[in-house]
Amino acid sequence: MFFSLIIGTLNRSECIKYCLESLRNQIYKEFEIIIIDQSEDDLTEKVLYDFRDLVIVYKRVHFKGLSKARNEAIHHAKGDYLCLIDDDAYYSDDYLSNIEKHIRSNKKIIVSGYLWNTITKRDFVNYKVLTDGKKLSYRQVIRYCPSPAISFPKEIISVSGYFDEEFGVGAKYGAGEETDFILRAMSNGYTVRYFNDVKAKHPHEKLAMITSSVDIKKKRTYSFGFGAMYEKQFCLRNGIKILLPFTEKIIKLKLKCLLHRKKEYIEEKNAFWQGKKEYKITHSKRSIDNGYRDK
């Protein structure tokens, strides 16, 4: 089994160094690293000089957007399985060997792993409610599958299409790209399974203090993106499957506004509905079906 590890990066040369160190230490060695660099400088490329022992496909691009970067990387990928790697995450030494172990008997599953939040010093999400190795529902995928720990067979692209370039960091809708991607794959018969021995930390401990501040604008952008993501799934007729997490999201947003009465929570709630409304206005069923298949 050969893996292609996909990294989209933008002005994060200090971060990617720690990420590459963790990939260098992988027990399982059958992999390539594909880096799509959207930076305005050459600092990231210079970092790669210290990692010439790794198989790295590096491409400097002039466009912006995480989904665009991932789609570009997929075009260059030679691996049977593709792993989404965050440039500021740090991966356990047995990360790939454990994925390989889990997919050995079933090469059609999407693997979701465990992510430790180095800022809050706790699980990124509440993994305790998940059963190791079990199939995840639509609700569980939306709530418990962060992108730095997702791997999937490359063949999904030919079935479900690429990442929707309207979603994700740097795009019109600033979040939800990997969730949309996985839900589309599930609609085409793929299953998602969580494994607690597929471990990553985010961000690296040495970067936690630098990235610990919470940007209210980012929270609005994230909420706007997920509002659009939900509307897209409704348009794709996944309404029944996502109704529960959608309802939970609405209740959570309302409770935060009622209990805390902070401006940032009101803005977050409004951004969610604005994203949902805007996506509904600007997209037809046909454009949703055909907008990302032929990248």
Instruction: Give the lowest-confidence range in 17-26, 74-83, 140-149, 198-207.
Output: 198-207
Q: Is residue 66 part of a domain?
A: yes
142-161 pLDDT tens trace: 999 988 899 999 999 999 99
230 Cβ neighbours under 8 A, 6+ residues apart = 242, 246, 249, 276
Q: Is residue 14 part of a domain?
A: yes
Mean pLDDT to the nearest integer, 167-196: 94
Last residue of a domain, one of 157, 177, 208: 208
What is the extent of the structural domain holding 238? 216-290
The verdict on 104 and 237 lying in the same domain is no
pLDDT at 204: 65
pLDDT at 262: 78
The verdict on 20 and 63 lying in the same domain is yes
Residue matched to tokens 């709630």: 269
Picking from 85, 114, 118, 133, the residue whose alpha carbon sits closest to that of residue 208 is 118
pLDDT at 208: 53
- Phi then psi for residue 77, to 5 deg, are -70, 135
Q: Is residue 148 part of a domain?
A: yes
Q: With 80 as the cut, is the pLDDT of residue 11 above it? A: yes
pLDDT at 265: 85
The verdict on 146 and 91 lying in the same domain is yes
185-215 pLDDT tens trace: 999 999 999 999 999 998 766 655 554 445 6
The verdict on 282 and 255 lying in the same domain is yes
The verdict on 120 and 29 lying in the same domain is yes
pTM, entire model: 0.91
Looking at the chain, the whole-number percentage of residues with pLDDT higher than 90 is 75
CATH number, domain containing residue 149: 3.90.550.10
The verdict on 178 and 283 lying in the same domain is no
Q: With 70 as the cut, is the pLDDT of residue 285 above it? A: no
Q: Alpha helix locations (H) across the chain? A: 13-24, 43-47, 66-76, 95-103, 138-144, 156-160, 177-187, 205-208, 216-235, 239-260, 263-282, 285-290
Last residue of a domain, one of 184, 208, 232: 208
The verdict on 115 and 149 lying in the same domain is yes
pLDDT at 257: 87
How far is C-alpha 233 from the geometric centre of its chain's CA atoms?
17
Mean pLDDT to the nearest integer, 165-188: 94
Model confidence band, residue 35 (pLDDT cutoffs 50, 70, 90): very high
Mean pLDDT to the nearest integer, 18-37: 96
Residue 79, Cβ density class (10 Å: 0-12 exposed, 13-18 middle, ≥19 buried):
buried
Last residue of a domain, one of 177, 208, 239: 208
Q: State how many domains the chain has.
A: 2
Q: With 90 as the cut, is the pLDDT of residue 61 above it? A: yes
What's the CA gap between 65 and 266, in Å, rounded?
A: 27
Work out the mean pLDDT of the chain and round it to a whole number.
90
Picking from 67, 97, 62, the residue whose alpha carbon sits closest to that of residue 84 is 67
